[in-house]
Amino acid sequence: MLILNLFDVNAPVIQGLPDVSREDTIREVKRLTGRAVGINLEPLEPDAASAVETNGEWNLTSGRAATVANARKAIEMGVDFIVLTGNPGVGVTNAAITHTLRKFREEFGDRIMLIAGKMHAAGILAESGENIIGENDVSAFAEAGADVILMPAPGTVPGITMEYIRMLVSCAHRLGKMTMTAIGTSQEGADTSTIREIALMCKMTGTDLHHLGDSGYVGMALPENILEYGKAIRGVRHTYHRMASSVNR
């Protein structure tokens, strides 16, 4: 699965993509890669929507905000899933994620898979460390319509242990939801031995999906670390098979 971070539905830009119309950007990525493609949209509290800025690397642009209009554009562009989360410093709260989940599920029903949660504080000091996500948040996301609950990978945030995430994964599974453990604190750019250790801890939590963020180099995950992660949790044979496979064949 490919997640496009900082993707603006009003100004879609993917470096190196062949010249296609803006509305076909996502479909061209899917054609070239043969993978499911989704984007991050970032929920804000209702009274913060007018504070969206348009400058700076992390500042939230209007086309990245988690509005119904932006989600509709993304679906029309061909995304397979939407991730509701926050980039560093944007100010995304768990309450805003829950509110947006309800709106999206009411608006789009089962037309789109929704992944929801946080991998770091996203600018909310009260939701840092072990307070990034708890059992109450998992339950709230599940009730609001999330298909997959996103949470920090063990060892990527201070205080986030394998045992703690194992508890949250079990909670989500009891509610009939899948989980995604995420490396989103620039640790995706660490050495391969660190990546292997995190990968094994994530597997021991029982998570369903594994995520590596885009800050190995700004804007992309490190291919060598994706490879090491895959080898750690499923071995060389299956990893190389997945590398050579395409859903288009």
Query: What does each C-alpha distance from 68 to 27, 63, 79, 90, 107 come to in angstroms?
Result: 20, 11, 14, 19, 8
pLDDT of residue 50: 43
pLDDT interval class at 133 (50, 70, 90): very high
The tens digit of pLDDT for each residue in 174-219 reads 999 999 999 999 999 999 999 999 999 999 999 999 999 998 787 8
pLDDT of residue 48: 55
53-67, 82-96, 120-134, 195-209: which has the minimum mean pLDDT? 53-67
pLDDT at 217: 81
Mean pLDDT, the chain, rounded, equals 92
Check pLDDT > 50 for residue 88: yes
**Is the pLDDT assigned to residue 29 strictly greater than 50?**
yes
Among 155, 160, 223, residue whose Cα is nearest residue 189: 223
DSSP E strands, 110-212 = 113-117, 148-152, 178-183, 209-212
At residue 40, φ and ψ (nearest 5 deg) are: -85, 135
The predicted pLDDT at position 249 comes to 64
Q: Using DSSP bridges, classify how beta strands 81-84 and 209-212 pair: parallel, antiparallel or unpaired.
A: unpaired
Report pTM.
0.92
pLDDT confidence tier of residue 245, bands split at 50, 70 and 90 = confident
Q: What does the pLDDT average to over 210-236?
A: 91
Calculate mean pLDDT across residues 60-84: 95
Distance linking the first and last C-alpha atoms of the chain:
16
Between CA 175 and CA 98 the distance in angstroms is 16
Residue 88 is which amino acid?
A: P
Strand spans (E) along the chain: 2-4, 37-41, 81-84, 113-117, 148-152, 178-183, 209-212
Q: 103 in helix, strand or coil? A: helix
CA distances from 152 to 102, 130, 134, 168, 185 (A): 22, 10, 11, 11, 9
What is the reported pLDDT for 54? 39
pLDDT tens digits along 142-161:
999 999 999 999 999 999 99
- Report residue 159: phi and psi, to 5°: 90, -10
CA angle (70 as vertex; 37, 55 as ends), nearest 5: 95
| pLDDT > 90 fraction of the chain, expressed in percent and rounded | 80
pLDDT at 121: 93
